[in-house]
């Protein structure tokens, strides 16, 4: 599964929760978390693993943060090979968390069985939803953080994305993207 979304959408938190659910059901889970690299120093914080503290201690989970090192598209130059290694290593589910900063971070869509776009309730209006690029590639759009005071905005943005996605050309004859 590939996951992308804007900063603050809750990608790492979602992955930790989802990953723990999978490991509790006896699945082996691998997480390949991609972090942006500094254009000045080339370094990267590789901080996604620190936001997955419970999952990082789980014996049925493996978390590998990797810097982009200037690669565009939200992944690293070797992400596809890393996915194959994880599958070969016996992991049942491989989750790829992209850098996820905009409309063009969807290179992972061609590397995974399902591409999930995670959005916060204040993720834009219907016109944001019909922009070509990342929204066209999504197999599933998940509105995250839909609790408390954000329930109403989350339902509104869900309805707007459902409406917007009807205007996009279908990538598959058998699967209709869900929101």
Q: Is the model's pLDDT at 133 over the cut of 80?
A: no
For 6-25, the pLDDT digits (tens) are 888 889 999 999 999 999 99
The whole-chain average pLDDT of the chain stands at: 82
Query: In which band, very low, low, confident or very high, does the pLDDT at 122 lie, cut at 50, 70 and 90?
Result: confident
Which of residues 177 and 26 earns the better pLDDT score?
Answer: 26
Exposed e or buried b per residue across 64-81, where buried means at least 16 C-beta atoms within 10 angstroms of its C-beta:
ebbbbeebebbbbeebbe
In the predicted model, what is the mean pLDDT of residues 119-130?
62
DSSP state of 178: B
Mean pLDDT for 48-67 is: 86
Domain ranges of the chain: 2-167
Could you count the other beta carbons within 10 Å of the beta carbon of residue 42?
Answer: 10
Greatest CA separation found in the chain?
45
Which of 130, 121, 134 has its CA nearest to residue 168? Answer: 130
Distances (CA, A) of 88 to 30, 83, 84: 11, 9, 6
Q: Which of the following CATH numbers is that of domain 2-167: 3.30.70.141, 3.90.180.10, 3.40.50.300, 3.40.50.620?
A: 3.40.50.300
Q: What is the DSSP string of 118-143?
A: EE-TTS--HHHHT-SSHHHH-SEEEE
Q: pTM here? A: 0.84
């Amino acid at each position: 599964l590939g996951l992308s979304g804007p900063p603050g959408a809750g990608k790492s938190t979602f992955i930790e929760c989802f990953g723990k659910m999978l490991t509790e059901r006896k699945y082996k889970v691998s997480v390949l978390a991609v972090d942006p690299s500094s254009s000045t120093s080339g370094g990267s914080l590789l901080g996604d693993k620190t936001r997955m503290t419970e999952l990082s201690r789980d014996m049925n989970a493996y978390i590998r943060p990797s810097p982009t090192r200037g690669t565009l598209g939200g992944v690293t130059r070797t992400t596809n090979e890393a996915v194959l290694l994880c599958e070969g290593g016996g992991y049942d589910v491989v989750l790829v968390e992209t850098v996820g900063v905009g409309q063009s971070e969807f290179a992972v869509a061609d590397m995974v069985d399902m591409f999930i776009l995670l959005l916060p309730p204040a993720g834009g209006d219907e016109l944001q939803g019909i922009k070509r690029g990342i929204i066209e590639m999504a197999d599933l759009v998940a509105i995250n953080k839909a609790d408390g005071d954000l329930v109403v905005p989350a339902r509104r943005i869900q309805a707007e994305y459902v409406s917007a996605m009807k205007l996009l050309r279908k990538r598959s004859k058998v699967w209709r993207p869900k929101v």
